[in-house]
Amino acid sequence: MAVDEDRGGAVSAAQRWLGDGLTRFGDPFFDLAARGGPPDLHIETRLAGREPDAVSVMLNLPTYDGDYLYAAYSPVLFDALLESMSDVPIGGNVVFTANGVDGESHTGPTLLLDVDRIDSETSGSSWLRLRLLTIRTAFTRPDGMEPVLTFLRDMAHLSNPVHGEIFWGNHYGGVLEEALNLRPELTLPTARALLRGYTWLTILPEEIGRRLGGLDALRSSGAFVDVEHLDTGGYWCQATRNLDDYDQRAADQIFDVVAPTLPPGVPCLRDSHSLPNFLATRDASKR
């Protein structure tokens, strides 16, 4: 979301992203930690010891000198992390990590709730980026994505987003941005006019959704099984019911709908062209 459009909304979104995310997703990790013995959540002592089901819940929060403090979770430190978001958030995250039941390090559940701010030197504007990263197995279970989708949808209703998508891999930008060799610092200033990308789940900004005909046109396009107009602006567009059903044909159908709002260029797919990172291999400007 654009910080300059709604600074108070950006602060609220950052705090809710971390606070609500911890409430919704933290319990299994804390329960594992409680069963594992002493309440030691430090990654070096529990995970590196190869203890079965050992859990780490770590916080990364900005300090007054511009650095970051990486420390084991505590309620006091978590409150400090939320407080650090009370102006214009710079960044911070919560990292949940667990070993597997066999003690193999970092092979159990993993989740990252991350907040950071992207500044554009060309426009002088700033955007808040909210990311949720988890392991790929969470995407492959038929019902595995429902809690994540519910959380994302609830947050999208609150934030008047300029963009949103789900993809595989820890890319700095989105799938299309990487395929076109674009960076968020360049695409964010025009994100309400040019769509930054599309995947199995795409969140369109209000302006682009209207250009494409609005709710009725998006629903009748045949490219999505679920389209919803978000409370504060924007459109939630889900291509298929389950992620496993998303394929090249589905990506091509979305491209046909959103092409008038995409940046020019033929995507160079590299090694990211896999579920759910399918893209049409056509230049939107030549359509």
Among 32-36, 227-231, 259-263, the range scoring the smallest mean pLDDT is 32-36
Tell which wins on pLDDT, 204 or 149: 204
pLDDT at 96: 83
Confidence of residue 105 (pLDDT cuts 50, 70, 90): low
Question: How many residues are present in the chain?
Answer: 287
Specify the pLDDT at position 173: 83
What are the distances in angstroms from CA 129 to CA 7, 81, 88, 255?
13, 16, 12, 24
Nearest Cα residue to 2 out of 130, 194, 132: 130
pTM exceeds 0.85 for this model: yes
Kind plus residue range of the DSSP H or E element containing 128: strand 126-134
Q: How far apart are the C-alpha atoms of 156 and 202, rounded to whole Å? A: 11
pLDDT number for residue 251 = 95
- Four-CA torsion 89, 207, 282, 271, nearest 10 degrees: 20
Would the pLDDT of 29 be above 80? Answer: no
pLDDT for 54 beyond 80? no
Least confident of 46-55, 56-65, 145-154: 46-55
Residues of the chain with pLDDT > 90: what percent? 44
The CA-based angle 272-185-283, given to 5 degrees, is: 50
pLDDT of 41 above 60: no
Residue 53: the pLDDT is 66
Choose the weakest-confidence range: 51-55, 190-194, 201-205.
Answer: 51-55
At residue 19 the predicted structure's pLDDT band, cuts being 50, 70 and 90, is very high
CA distances from 27 to 10, 22, 58, 79, 266 (A): 26, 8, 14, 17, 44
Average pLDDT of the residues of the chain: 84
> How do 235-238 and 201-204 pair as beta strands?
antiparallel
pLDDT per residue as tens digits for the range 232-269: 999 999 999 888 889 999 999 999 999 999 999 999 87
| pLDDT at residue 139 tops 60 | no
